[in-house]
């Protein structure tokens, strides 16, 4: 995962296309051998590694709104979100 840190630190803004490529093709791509599985991986990354994650107050990963990116802030807010995610009955 050091390559993600390198990409994030190398530029002023987040290079989402580079992150998607490095994660989907370089890091996991060699381990995902089925074409359909690789396409699924790329689709998932296209939902997670996007500008809207940073630009939207509460970016949701699903239409239901259950899965969302917690707002930037203190660690306690992320802890509350994780506790919610692990204990919620979906």
pLDDT of residue 50: 92
Local structure of 60: helix, strand or coil:
strand
One domain for residues 42 and 82: no
Q: What is the pLDDT of residues 62-86, one digit of tens each?
A: 888 888 887 777 788 778 878 887 8
pLDDT of residue 54: 86
Alpha helices, DSSP H, located in 11-74: 16-21, 35-48, 52-55
One domain for residues 39 and 65: no
One domain for residues 45 and 66: no
pTM of the model: 0.67
- Rounded to the nearest integer, the mean pLDDT of the chain is 82
One domain for residues 39 and 81: no
Could you list the residue range(s) of the whole structural domain that residue 36 is in?
Answer: 1-50
Q: Give the chain's domain count.
A: 2
């Amino acid at each position: 995962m050091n390559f993600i840190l390198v990409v994030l630190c190398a530029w002023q803004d987040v290079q989402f296309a580079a992150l998607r490529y490095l994660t989907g093709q370089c890091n996991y791509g060699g381990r995902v051998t089925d074409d359909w599985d690789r396409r699924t991986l790329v689709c998932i990354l296209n939902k997670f590694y996007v500008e809207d994650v940073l630009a939207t107050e509460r970016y949701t990963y699903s239409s239901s709104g259950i899965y969302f990116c917690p707002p930037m802030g203190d660690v306690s807010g992320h802890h509350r979100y994780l506790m919610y995610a692990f204990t919620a009955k979906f």
